[in-house]
C-alpha cells in the first residue's frame, strides 16, 4: 500500500472521528427535553468553578454532560465569567444558552438601588430606566395608594404631591421578574415600616414630634446636608426656627417645587406660590420633599442642641452656622469669595 494511500485513509479516519465527536458534543449540548419547558431554580454560589456549576446543573437534570458544559464555557471564553445568583433554568435550553445566561448574570432577581434623598419622581424614572415598570403608573400609585395599614401616613395633608413621598425607604432591593409597580411601591413602604423601629417611634413622641413631622424634617435635612456631620446641626437649626416661629426658608423646598436642584435660587423663586414654599409659609411643608435615609431620620430624632438659627453652604458643601442675622450675612459674604 502506497504512503499516499495510507495518508489518505488516515485523513478520512480523522475526519470521521471528528465528525463523530462533533456529533456527540452537539447532542450533549442540546436541551435535555424539548419542547416541554420544565423549570428549576439553580443557585450559583460565589466562587463556584465552571465544572462545579456544571455538576450542579447535571444533578438537577438540566444538562446531559458536565464535561460538555465545561467545554462550551471554555470554548466561548466564559468559564471564568459565570456569575453568582439564583437562575431559572429550563430543560429546553441548550448548554450554550445556559452559559450565556450565567455569563450575563440574568438572575431570577433584578437589583435596584434607591439612593437616600431620591424623590418619588426620581424613583419612578429609575424604575423605568431599569425596565421594571412604567414611571407614570408608579407615580399614579404614589398619589393614590391605600395607606390605611400605616397610621402615621393616614393623616396626610390634602396638598401633598404624593401620599407616599418620604416613606419609600432608600435601599437595595432584589426584584423578582414580573413584579408590578404596585408590588415595587409596597416593597419600599414595607421596608420603611420595618426600619422605623418602636424605639424610634417612642423617641419621636418624647421630643414632641409625630412620625410624619420627623420624616418631613428628615427629608429637609437629607436634601440640605452634604456632609455627614452637618445633619444633626441642620436638624437643630430647623427645630430652633420652628420653636421661635420663624419660617424654615429651606432652599430644598423651592427645589422640590421647581422639580430640579437649582444651585442658586432667585428672589422670584422664593416667591413661587406653593404650600411647599417655606419662605412664604410658616411651619413645615405639607409633606416630605424626598425619601430620607436612616442617618437623616436619626439626625432629627437626636438633633444637635445649638443656638444656631441660620446656615449657608460653601462651594465644597460644608455649612457655616450662625446665631444672628448679622453673622449669617457675614458667612454668606465669606462663602461667596
Q: Do the Cβ atoms of 251 and 319 come closer than 8 Å?
A: no
CA-to-CA distance for 174 and 309, rounded, in angstroms?
A: 42
Sign for the CA dihedral angle at 219, 224, 226, 228 comes to negative
127-142, pLDDT tens digit by residue? 999 999 999 999 999 9
Global pTM?
0.73
Task: Please give the pLDDT value at position 17.
Answer: 47
List the Cα angle 12/18/21 in 5-degree steps: 140
| C-alpha cell at position 233 | 446641626
- For cell 479516519, the residue is 13
The full 3-state SS of 113-167, as one line of letters, equals ECCCCCCHHHHHHHHHHCCCCCHHHHHHHHHHCCCCCCHHHHCCCCCCCCCCCCC
State whether residue 272 is helix, strand or coil.
coil
Question: What fold does the segment set 26-107 form as a domain?
Answer: Dna Ligase; domain 1 (3.30.1490)
DSSP 8-class letter at 304:
P
Strand partners, 41: 88
280-330, pLDDT tens digit by residue? 999 999 999 999 999 999 999 999 999 999 888 888 888 888 899 898 888
The structural domains of the chain, with segments of one domain joined by +, span: 26-107, 110-195, 207-335
Amino acid at each position: 500500500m502506497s504512503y499516499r494511500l495510507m495518508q489518505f485513509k488516515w485523513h478520512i479516519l480523522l475526519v470521521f472521528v471528528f465528525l463523530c465527536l462533533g456529533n456527540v458534543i452537539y447532542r450533549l449540548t442540546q436541551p435535555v427535553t424539548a419542547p416541554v419547558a420544565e423549570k428549576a431554580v439553580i443557585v450559583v454560589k460565589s466562587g463556584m468553578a465552571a465544572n462545579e456549576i456544571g455538576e450542579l446543573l447535571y444533578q438537577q437534570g438540566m444538562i446531559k454532560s458536565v464535561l460538555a458544559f465545561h467545554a462550551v464555557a471554555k470554548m466561548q471564553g466564559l468559564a471564568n465569567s459565570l456569575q453568582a445568583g439564583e437562575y431559572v433554568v429550563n430543560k429546553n435550553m441548550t448548554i450554550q444558552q445556559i452559559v450565556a445566561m450565567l455569563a450575563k448574570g440574568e438572575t431570577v432577581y433584578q437589583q435596584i438601588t434607591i439612593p437616600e434623598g431620591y424623590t418619588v419622581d426620581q424613583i419612578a424614572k429609575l424604575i423605568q430606566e431599569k425596565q421594571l415598570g412604567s414611571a407614570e403608573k408608579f407615580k399614579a400609585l404614589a398619589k393614590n395608594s391605600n395607606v390605611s395599614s400605616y397610621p402615621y401616613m393616614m393623616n396626610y395633608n390634602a396638598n401633598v404631591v404624593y401620599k407616599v413621598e418620604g416613606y419609600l425607604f432608600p435601599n437595595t432591593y432584589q426584584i423578582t421578574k414580573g413584579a408590578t409597580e404596585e408590588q415595587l411601591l409596597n416593597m419600599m413602604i414595607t421596608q420603611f415600616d420595618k426600619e422605623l423601629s418602636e424605639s424610634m417611634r417612642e423617641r419621636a413622641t418624647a421630643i414632641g414630634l409625630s412620625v410624619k413631622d420627623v420624616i418631613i424634617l428628615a427629608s429637609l435635612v437629607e436634601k440640605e446636608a452634604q456632609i455627614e456631620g452637618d445633619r444633626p446641626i441642620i436638624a437643630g437649626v430647623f427645630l430652633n426656627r420652628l420653636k421661635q416661629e420663624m419660617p424654615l426658608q429651606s432652599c430644598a423646598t423651592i427645589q422640590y417645587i421647581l422639580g430640579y436642584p437649582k444651585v442658586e435660587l432667585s428672589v422670584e423663586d422664593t416667591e413661587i406660590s406653593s404650600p411647599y414654599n417655606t419662605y412664604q409659609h410658616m411651619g413645615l411643608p405639607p409633606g416630605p420633599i424626598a425619601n430620607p435615609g436612616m442617618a437623616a431620620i436619626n439626625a432629627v430624632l437626636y438633633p444637635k442642641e445649638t443656638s444656631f438659627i441660620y446656615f449657608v453652604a460653601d462651594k465644597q458643601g460644608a455649612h457655616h452656622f450662625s446665631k444672628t442675622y448679622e453673622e449669617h450675612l457675614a458667612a454668606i459674604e465669606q462663602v461667596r469669595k
